Chains A and B, each alone.
Chain A
Amino acid sequence: MGALTEDMKDRIRAYIPMYPRKQAVTLPALHLVHDELRTVSNEAVVEIAELLDLAPSEVNDTMTFYAFFKGEGEKLGTTRLWVCRGLACMLRGGYELIEHCEHKLGVRCGQTTPDGKITLEFAECIGACDGAPACLRDDKHVMDVTPEKADELIADLKRL
Chain B
Amino acid sequence: MAHFEPVLLARVNKPGSARLAGYRADGGYATVARVLKDLKPEQVVAQVKDSGLRGRGGAGFPTGLKWTFLPKDHPGPIYLCVNADESEPCTYNNRILMERDPHQVLEGIMLACYAFKARKAFFYVRYEYGDAFRSLQTAIADLYAAGLLGANILGSGFDLDVVLHRGAGAYICGEETGLIESLEGKRAWPRIKPPFPAVEGAFRKPTIVNNVETLACVTQIMARGNDWFKSLGVPPDPKNPRDAGSYGPKLYTIAGHVNEPKCVELPMGVTIRELVETHGGGVWKGRKAKAVNPGGLSMGFVNVNAKLKDSDLTEYDIPLDFNGPGRVGCLGLGTAAVTVIDDQTSMVDVLHNTCQFFAHESCGQCTPCREGTGWMEKITDRLRRGQGRREDLDILVDVADRIGIMPGTTICGLADGAGWPVKTAIRKFRDEFEAAIKSGERSKYAKALRVVGAH
Measured between beta carbons, the chain A residues less than 8 angstroms from B401 are none
Whether the Cβ atoms of A87 and B126 lie closer than 8 Å is: no
- Which residues of A are at the interface with B, using a C-beta cutoff of 8 A? 18-21, 23-28, 30-31, 52, 61-62, 65-69, 85-88, 90-92, 95, 123-132, 136, 138-141
Asked if A127 meets B87 with Cβ closer than 8 Å, knowing A24-B184, A87-B357, A136-B128, the reply is yes
The reply on B187 being an interface residue by CB < 8 A is: yes
B297 on interface, CB distance cutoff 8 Å: yes
- Give me the 8 closest cross-chain CB pairs, A-B, nearest first: A139-B130, A26-B185, A129-B255, A65-B187, A66-B168, A23-B185, A125-B89, A88-B255
Within 8 A of A (CB), among B413-440: none
A contact residues around B357 at 8 Å (CB)? 86-87, 124-125
Contact A67 B169 (CB under 8 A): yes
Q: Which of B36-44, B49-57, B90-98, B402-410 contacts A (4 or more CB under 8 A)?
A: B90-98
A86: chain B residues within 8 A (beta carbon): 89-90, 353, 357
Q: What is the bound-complex CA distance between A65 and B184, given in angstroms?
A: 14
**Are A139 and B128 within 8 A (Cβ)?**
yes
Q: Is the beta-carbon distance between B255 and A130 smaller than 8 angstroms?
A: yes
Which residues on the A side are within 8 Å of B256 (C-beta)? Answer: 87-88, 91-92, 129, 132
Residues on B with beta carbons closer than 8 Å to the beta carbon of A90: 349, 353
CB pairs A–B below 8 angstroms (18 shown): A18-B163, A19-B203, A23-B186, A62-B187, A85-B356, A86-B353, A87-B293, A87-B297, A87-B339, A87-B354, A88-B261, A91-B350, A125-B88, A125-B91, A127-B95, A132-B255, A139-B131, A141-B131
B166 at the interface (CB under 8 A from A): yes
**With A66-B170, A125-B87: A19-B163 Cβ-Cβ less than 8 Å:** yes
Known: A23-B185, A91-B341. A130 touches B87 (CB 8 A): no
Q: Please tell me if B445 contacts chain A, counting CB pairs below 8 Å.
A: yes
| Contact flag A124-B168 (CB < 8 Å), given A19-B163, A129-B255 | no
Which residues of B (255-293) have their CB < 8 Å from a CB of A?
Answer: 255-257, 261-263, 293
User: Which residue of A is nearest B87, CB measured?
Assistant: A125
Question: Which A residues lie within 8 Å of B166 (CB)?
Answer: 27-28, 31
Evaluate contact between B130 and A66: CB separation under 8 angstroms: no
B185 interface neighbour in A62, A123, A124, Cβ under 8 Å: A62
CA distance A74 to B253 in the complex (A): 37
How many angstroms from the CA of A128 to the CA of B185 in the assembled complex? 27
Q: Which residue of chain B lies nearest to A137 when distances are taken between CB atoms in the complex?
A: B130
How far does the Cβ of A79 sit from chain B's closest Cβ, in whole Å?
13
Q: Does B182 contact A (CB under 8 A)?
A: yes
A94's nearest neighbour on chain B, judged by CB, is: B353
Which residues of the other chain, B, contact A67 by a CB distance below 8 angstroms? 169
